[in-house]
């Protein structure tokens, strides 16, 4: 007869905790990638407008117009109550992650 001991390993890992950690890790990776993206974009914005080719990708540098409302002026001109009555409000659920 063999003296082999069989261990029944029971996992105490909380699957939700694993999801929280995975999300936090992904967000850290995204932050690093966004920082790298900003550096690359800042360098590429010095190029002339138009089509620019890489070895695997192409990009187009162009100017465009963007319109936005000046909420501070609207509140000043029409009043805070008018502004509030013309704003759409909704409940937004968000997740904030941070290292322990």
Phi first, then psi: give them for residue 98, nearest 5 degrees: -155, 155
> Which residues lie closer than 8 Å to 49 by C-beta, 6 or more apart?
61, 62, 63
Please indicate, yes or no, if residue 90 is contained in any of the structural domains: no
- Asked, for residue 69, whether it belongs to a domain, the answer is no
How far separated are the first and last CA of the chain, in Å rounded?
A: 50
Residue 35 lies in a domain: yes
Q: Is residue 40 part of a domain?
A: yes
Whole-angstrom Cα distance, residue 87 to residue 38?
Answer: 32
Tell me, rounded to whole angstroms, the distance of Cα 15 from its chain centroid.
24
- pTM reported for the whole predicted model: 0.66
- Sorting pLDDT into bands at 50, 70 and 90, what band is 13? confident
Domain assignment present for residue 27? The answer is yes
Q: 33-43 pLDDT, tens per residue?
A: 999 999 999 99
- Comparing CA positions, the residue from 45, 48, 49, 44 lying closest to residue 62 is 49
Domain range for 50: 12-63
Q: How many domains does the chain contain in total?
A: 1
């Amino acid at each position: 007869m063999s003296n082999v001991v069989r261990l029944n390993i029971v996992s105490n890992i909380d699957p939700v905790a694993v999801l929280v950690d995975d999300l936090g890790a992904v967000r850290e990776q995204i932050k690093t990638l966004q920082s790298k993206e900003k550096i690359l974009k800042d360098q590429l914005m010095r190029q002339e407008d138009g089509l620019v080719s890489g070895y695997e990708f192409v990009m187009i540098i162009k100017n465009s117009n963007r319109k936005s409302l000046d909420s501070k002026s609207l509140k000043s001109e029409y009043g805070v109550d008018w502004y509030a009555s013309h704003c759409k409000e909704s409940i937004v659920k968000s997740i904030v992650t941070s290292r322990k």
